[in-house]
Amino acid sequence: MSMPVHRWLSACRGVAFAATVTFAGAPALRCQGTQVTEPKRPKLDAGRDNNNAAAYYQWGMQHLTDRPDKAADAFYWAARLEPSGAEPWYGRWAALLLTRQHRDMFALVSEDSRNQKEHAKIDSLKYEALMREPLIYTKLDAVLTQDFFQAISQATDGEVTEVDLAMVPDPELKGWLAYGSGRFAESVKQYAIAIGRNPKEQGLHADRARAFIPLLQYDSAAAEFEAERQVEQQSEESTLVRVYNSKEMLQFSIGRVRETQDKGAEARDAYGRALVENLAFYPAHTALAKMALASNDTAAALKEFDLAAQLAPRRADILYLYGVLLMTRRSFDAAAEQFRLAIEADPYYVKPYLPLAYIREGQGKDSLAIAYYTQFIALAPAALSKQVEDARQRLKDVKQLVPESH
């Protein structure tokens, strides 16, 4: 393969690390939230549940390569219906980049400020995915490169073929492509070669760590994340470090590995170290809150959820979980406020409506209870049929009381 093509491939992979990416979590959420024009919901196949986030995600994956623009819309709605999942954010990131490649692949390697700004906006989506699950299987990266390579092949009238992609004598590229195609042992092997050749190159240890995860080699994954942290400490900060392999993200990743291993103490220590690096890193607060709740330490859970909710006011799923905990503690007014904020953050997220309706009914606020029960019934997926049945009965009962109380 000629050197120009190799550079194009590197540029394709590097587009995710555009030089202007200096975003934080909240602005990234606003890009996906109600402050911008919402894309139209794709029409799902007959029999699919229009209120089910998984249905939109599956539709998006089905049409990722042939209709990436519509796939991006489907991923958007999957994230709106269930904001806790990492996969829709990552899928939308890939779909939007595919859309750009199909429209103008060379815009991806342009240094034009307008293009860089669009790169940063798209890239915030992948960051949001990692904030939800740092161990997510990022297989769609390879799809982007393969699509890019197909475009190059067409542009050169077949002079460069897809076979050349596998012929590139670059262990980093080979490791990355092996990871994307599910050949994890080969990926681990190739990344080891790449690290041996360039031990100070940033990102290699983190990539190798993620390749260890599907092999269930968790200790090796944690060791590689730690090795990446040491490399980052000894290197000048770059955009890649600042975004995907920041010190707090690496500690968060180690925490997730240890939590997966059911090593609670080590997981809590890693989450604590993430907060030492960045006290405003809300995913670590959320993780600590969930661990505290699992060990029946309600006081610690309340504290951590409160911090997470303040730091991530657009994360409707976190606000909802905090509200549920407050509700179990019979702090009904405080719980209702969290549910209200969750609905305000994402009115398509169905879970907060039902408990808020319960609370308002118990407080004698019948009109509000009716509104929330009605909205829950309209938004609930088929999987919540039992809750919908209960909501319908309660709605009927409350409506009978309205004339008497008003």
Total residues belonging to the chain: 406
CB neighbourhood size of 392 (10 A): 14
CB neighbourhood size of 5 (10 A): 18
Q: Are residues 135 and 175 in the same domain?
A: no
The per-residue pLDDT for 214 is: 95
Q: Are residues 32 and 155 in the same domain?
A: yes
Q: Which residue stretches of the chain have pLDDT < 50?
A: 1-34, 240-241, 405-406
The per-residue pLDDT for 72 is: 96
Number of domains the chain contains: 2
* Residue pair 85/79 in contact by the 8 Å Cβ criterion: yes
Containing domain of residue 153, as a range? Answer: 1-168
CA 215 to chain centroid, in Å, comes to: 22
The per-residue pLDDT for 236 is: 61
Question: What is the rounded CA–CA span in Å between residue 189 and residue 198?
Answer: 14
Q: Are residues 160 and 203 in the same domain?
A: no
Read off the pTM.
0.85
**44-71 confidence digits (pLDDT tens):** 988 899 999 999 999 999 999 999 999 9
CATH number of the domain to which 190 belongs: 1.25.40.10
Q: Are residues 240 and 95 in the same domain?
A: no
φ, ψ at 267 (rounded to 5°) = -65, -45
Residues 6 or more apart in contact with residue 103 via CB below 8 angstroms: none
The per-residue pLDDT for 110 is: 57
Angle between the N-to-C axes of helices 332-345 and 316-328, in degrees from 0 to 180, rounded to the nearest 10 = 170
The per-residue pLDDT for 134 is: 95
Say if residue 403 is exposed, middle or buried (CB neighbours under 10 Å; 0-12, 13-18, 19+).
Answer: exposed
The per-residue pLDDT for 317 is: 97
Residues 6 or more apart in contact with residue 133 via CB below 8 angstroms: 86, 256
Q: Are residues 191 and 225 in the same domain?
A: yes
**298-313 confidence digits (pLDDT tens):** 999 999 999 999 999 9
The per-residue pLDDT for 196 is: 95
Select from 130, 150, 168 the last residue of a domain. 168
* Residue pair 125/96 in contact by the 8 Å Cβ criterion: yes
DSSP-derived secondary structure letter, 175: H
Instruction: State the distance between the two ends of the chain, measured CA to CA, in whole angstroms.
Output: 79
Q: Are residues 43 and 117 in the same domain?
A: yes
pLDDT above 70 coverage of the chain, percent: 80
